[in-house]
Amino acid sequence: MRFGGLVALNDVSLSIDKGAVLAVIGPNGAGKSTLFNVVTGVYRPTSGRVTFNGAEITSRPSYEVVDRGIARTFQSSRLFSDLSVLDNVIIGMHTRTKTGVLDALFRPGASRREMAACVEKAEILLKLGSGGLFEQRYRPAGTLAQADRRRLEIARALASQPKLLLLDEPSVGMDDTETDALVADIVRLRAENPELSVILIEHDMRVVEAFPQHVTCIDYGSKIAEGDFAAVRADPRVQEAYLGKAVADA
């Protein structure tokens, strides 16, 4: 992925199996969020391909990517702040609902029944995570604490019934207790959805260490290491990327 003379991603190749968790790490500006933007159709890659479940989805519009089963959160909040917590989750179901404006006018019964089903599903999702989002479901999303906003973004992504969930720094703004609760939420989510694949971008190594099997490190747009957490953490190139050459040598 090139932006003029800047190469944001350079020959980065990744794969993930059904039900697996892949952690993508790297210093700020390494190209991690750009990678998510390419996968989800926000950016059209300069070259290369994105395939999912055997089908090429390169440069597909974002709504088609969601429809095919890929959902994501963002590093910065993208909630509808003036809408309720419940409404934010229901909006995440838009690719899975069937009724529209004409149905509301000419088939109001069907429209009401579908909305009732969406409310029920949204409440179930809000009960899954920690933090008491269900009890806050009628509050405007913009009034939530930072940690609860991150939880709500994950619930909204799950509302689209994804096969692959992309989490862009889900622990940002959380303290240690909240981060531990986030890890527990992801563990519980995977236990209840064993075929759900997760790719997470993280700076908090405690989160990465909780899912140590598959870790990839990116620096200056290139993949510099991959393997389990212990191997990647010990790689001199990774230490240099995070700490600088003098410290890594020491």
Give the CATH number, domain containing residue 198: 3.40.50.300
Cβ distance 97 to 164 under 8 Å?
no
* Of 73, 92, 90, 69, nearest in space to 162 by CA: 69
Q: Report if residue 73 sits inside a domain.
A: no
Cβ distance 151 to 130 under 8 Å?
yes
Q: Report if residue 192 sits inside a domain.
A: yes
Q: Report if residue 229 sits inside a domain.
A: yes
Q: Report if residue 125 sits inside a domain.
A: no
Q: What's the pTM value of the predicted model, to 2 decimals? A: 0.90
- Domains in the chain, number: 1
How is 9-70 classified by DSSP, letter by letter?
--S------TT-EEEEE-STTSSHHHHHHHHTTSS--SS---EETTEE-TT--HHHHHHHTE
Q: Report if residue 78 sits inside a domain.
A: no
What's residue 249's pLDDT?
59
Q: Report if residue 122 sits inside a domain.
A: no
What's residue 52's pLDDT?
95
Which domain covers residue 46, as residue numbers?
A: 2-68+163-249
How is 201-229 classified by DSSP, letter by letter?
E-S-HHHHHTS-S-EEEEETTEEEEEESH
What's residue 246's pLDDT?
56
What's residue 173's pLDDT?
86
Residues 6+ apart with CB under 8 A from 11: 48, 222, 223
pLDDT tens digit at each of 250 positions of the chain: 999 999 999 999 999 999 999 999 999 999 999 999 999 999 999 999 999 999 999 989 999 999 999 999 998 888 999 999 999 999 999 887 767 666 665 577 777 888 889 999 999 999 988 878 999 999 999 999 999 999 999 999 999 999 999 999 999 989 999 999 999 999 999 999 999 999 999 999 999 999 999 999 999 999 999 999 999 999 999 999 987 765 555 5
Cβ distance 89 to 155 under 8 Å?
yes
Residues 6+ apart with CB under 8 A from 120: none
Q: What token pair was written down for 94?
A: 């838009």
Q: Report if residue 105 sits inside a domain.
A: no
Q: Report if residue 114 sits inside a domain.
A: no
